[in-house]
Amino acid sequence: MFSKKRDSSVAVWVMLAPYLVFLVMFAVVPIWMALKESVGPTMRNEAGGFKNYLLVLTDYRFLTSLKNTVLYVLVSAPIMTTVVLVLSLLLDSFRAKWHQYVRLAYLIPGCYVGAAGVLAWYMALEPIIGPFRRVLNFFGIEKSTQVFQPSSLVFIFAMMSVVSNAGAWIVVQFGGLQEISEEVIEAAKIDGCGNFQLATKIKLPLIKKNVVYMVVLVITASVQLFAEPFIVNQQIGFSGNWSLMQLSYSIAFVEGDIASASAISFMLLAVSLSAALIFIFKSNFFEGEGVEK
Amino acid sequence: MTTTVNTKIKVSEKSPEKKAFSFGKLATNLILLFIATVLLIPALWMTIAPSKDRAELVSLSPLEFGSIGSYLTRWRNLMQYDNEVLIRWIENSFWYTISIVLLSTLMSLLGGFALAATNIKFKRQILMLVMIAMIIPGIALVMPMFIWVNKLGLTDTELGLILASSFYPFGVFLSYIHFSTVIPKELYEAAKIDGCGYFKIFRKVALPVSKSLVGIIAFFSFVGAWNNFFLPQVFILSGEKHPLSSGLTLLFTNTPAFSGNSSAILPIERSEIALSALVITLPIILLFLFSQRFLSRGMLAGSVKS
C-alpha cells in the first residue's frame, strides 16, 4: 500500500515536471538573470551595482518615456474598462440571438495584431486613402500629419489597444454576466429594479472579481506597451523611445547595453509582479478557485 | 379559443414592460450595430485594398473593389522582397505555431490534471506560481528570457523560440479549473483504489470527457503563438528564420509601406502591405469562424458544470 502510494506520487510529479521545468527555465531563471545582469558592469558605469538603476532613472530619455507610459496607462485602462463593461452589460440586458454575430464582429479587430493591427488602425485614421476618409475630411482633416501628432499619439495608441482587445474581454465579462442566476435577476426586477439599476447595483457587484482581474491584466499589459509605438513611430519618424519598453529595447539592441536595458525591464516587471501579488492576495482570487481544498 | 385568450393575457401582461423598454432596446441595438460596423470597416478595407493599385487607392471610393487580377500583381510584387522570403515566413509561422500548440497543450493538460487530481506537496505554492505567471504579461518576460536564452546559446534558433513560446501558465490554470470541477474527486479515489495509475486515469477517465478543454487550450495557444510578435522580434536575428508576425514588421520597416513614397526600388506599397496583413490574419479569422460554435459550447459546458 505504502509503496503504491509512493509510485503514484512519482507519476504525479512526472506529469507536473514539464510545466515546472518550463516555469523555472522561462520565468524564474530569466527573472533572476535579468536581476543579476542589471547590476553588471556597463559602458557608463564599469563598477556596476545598483548605480545602474540610478543612471537609467536619470537618463535624459527616461522621464519622457515614463511620462508617456504612465499617461498611456491612465488613458487606456479606464477607456478599456468602461467600453468593455458598458458593452457587456448592454449585450446582457437586451439579449438577442443575433448578438452572437455582434460579439464576433467585436473580436475581428483582435485578429489583426502586431504589424497588421497597427497598419489596420493607422489606415483607419489616414485621411487620403483610409476607409474613414470622408468622415475625417468632413472634420477638416486632410493630411495625415494632422492626425499623427506627438500630442495625439497617446490617444491613438489607446484606441488601437482598446479596439483590438476589447472584444476578447467582452466575451469574458459577458460570460461572467450569464452565470448570474436568473432568480437573482427576477427577484431584483420584482423589487422594481430597472435595467440601469440592475446593471449597476446587482450585476456589476456580482462580477466584481472578473472586473478586478481584467483591470489588473489591462494595467500590467499597458505598462509594457511596445508594438504600437514601435511600428507607428518607425513609419512617421517620431522618437523611437516613446514607451519605457521601447527605451529598454533600443538601449539593448541599438546601444548594446544589456545591463541598463535589464534594469528597465526589471523595474517594469516589478510593477507587474506587485500588481499580480496584490491582486491575488487582496481579492482572495485564490480561495474562490478551490485552491484551499 | 383558449389559446387566443392566453396569448391576449400574455400580451397584456407583457406589454407595459415591453413598451417601457422598447426605446432602450432599439437604442442599444443601434449602438451595438454601429460599433460593430465601425470595427469591421478597417478589416473590410484591408481585404479590398489589394484589389487596387496606388492610383486607384485614392481615386476609387474606400470600399470600392478594384480587380481580382490586382491581388496577383500585389502577390508578385511581395515576392520580390528578399527572394520570396514571405513564403518562408508563412511556412515558419505554421510549423512554429503547431509545435508550440502541441507542447503547451500537452504540458497544460498534464500539469493541470496532476494539480487537480492529487494533494501533492507544495500544491498551494505551485498554484500560486501558476497564477502569478499568468498575470504577468508575456512581454515583460521577453527581455529577461532573451538574456537567459542568449547564455544558453539559443538566440536565433528555432528551438529557443519554440521552447520560450511554449511556456503557457494560462493553459495550466484552465486545465486545473476544469479537472477539479468537472471530474468528481471520488472518481480519482475510486480509480486509485482499483489500482489505476495516474497516467491511466488521465488517459482513460480524464481526457475522454475533456475534449472541449483540449480545444480551448489549443485554440488560445494557437492564437497567442501565431500573433506573438515581440518574442521573435527579439529572439530571431536572421531574416529567413522569422515567423510572419515579426517578419512583417521587418517588411514594413524596409519598404515605403505606410509613407506611400514611390522612390524606393521595390514595388511594395500600401496595397502590397494590405495583402501581407491579409495573409497573416486569414488563418486566425478562419480559426475564429470555424471554432466559434464549438468555443461557445465549450465555455458554456464549463460554466454549467462549475
Distance, CA of B174 to CA of B197 (rounded, Å):
23
B127 and B24 belong to one structural domain: no
CATH number (domain holding residue B191): 1.10.3720.10
User: Are B168 and B25 in a shared domain?
Assistant: no
| Count, residues in chain B | 306
Q: Does A168 touch chain B (CB under 8 A)?
A: no
Same-domain status, B60 and B150: no
Residue B21 within any structural domain of the chain: yes
Instruction: Name the residue with higher pLDDT: A137 or A49.
Output: A137
Residue B296 has pLDDT above 70, yes or no: no
B56 and B180 together in one domain: no
Per-residue pLDDT, averaged over A280-291, amounts to 62
Q: Which residue of A has its CA nearest to B228?
A: A114
Q: pLDDT per residue over B83-92, tens digit each?
A: 889 999 999 9
- Decide if A218 touches B, using CB distance below 8 A: no
Query: Does B9 fall in a domain?
Result: no
Q: Does B174 touch chain A (CB under 8 A)?
A: no
ipTM metric: 0.84
Rounded CA separation B301/A210 (Å): 19
The answer to whether residues B196 and B288 belong to one domain is: yes
| Structural domain count of chain B | 2
Give the relative orientation of helices B85-117 and B244-254 as an angle to the nearest 10 degrees. Answer: 140
Same domain, B113 and B26: no
Residue for grid cell 478562419: B286
Other C-beta atoms lying within 10 Å of the C-beta of residue B20: 11
Which residues are CB-neighbours of B268 under 8 A, at least 6 positions away? B77, B78, B80, B81, B251, B255, B256, B257
Is B303 within 8 Å of A178 when comparing Cβ atoms? yes
Residue B271 lies inside a defined structural domain of this protein: yes
B231 in any annotated domain? yes
**Does residue B27 belong to the interface with chain A, where contact is any CB pair within 8 Å?**
no
Let me know if residue B4 belongs to a domain.
Answer: no
Q: Are residues B44 and B97 in the same domain?
A: no
The residue ranking higher by pLDDT, A38 or A86, is A86
Q: Is residue B11 part of a domain?
A: no
Domain assignment of residue B12, yes or no:
no
- pLDDT of A48 higher than 80: no
- Is there a single domain that holds both residue B61 and residue B105? no
Q: Are residues B202 and B257 in the same domain?
A: yes
pLDDT confidence bin for B3, thresholds 50/70/90: very low
Contact B258 A119 (CB under 8 A): yes
Domain ranges of chain A: 39-286
Q: What is the DSSP string of A202-271?
A: IIHHHTHHHHHHHHHHHHHHHHT--HHHHHHHHHHT--TTSSHHHHHHHHHHTS--HHHHHHHHHHHHHH
Q: Check if the beta carbon of residue B74 is closer than 8 Å to that of residue B272.
A: yes
pLDDT, one tens digit per residue, over A13-32 is: 999 999 999 999 988 998 88
Both B49 and B132 in a single domain? no
- With respect to residue B124, please indicate whether it lies within any of the assigned structural domains: yes
What DSSP state is assigned to residue A200? I
Q: Are residues B110 and B258 in the same domain?
A: yes
Phi-psi region of B168 (alpha: psi -120 to 50; beta: other; left: phi over 0): beta
Sorting pLDDT into bands at 50, 70 and 90, what band is B36? Answer: very high
Record: contact B277-A119, CB cut-off 8 A: yes
Condensed to tens digits (0 to 9), the pLDDT of residues B63-83 reads 899 999 999 999 999 998 888
B46 inside 8 A of chain A by CB: yes
Nine-digit cell string for B205 = 477517465
Same domain for B235 and B158: yes
Q: Which CATH superfamily, name and number, covers A39-286?
A: MetI-like (1.10.3720.10)
Do residues A245 and A261 touch, judged by C-beta distance below 8 A?
no
Which residues span the domain enclosing B34?
Answer: 17-66
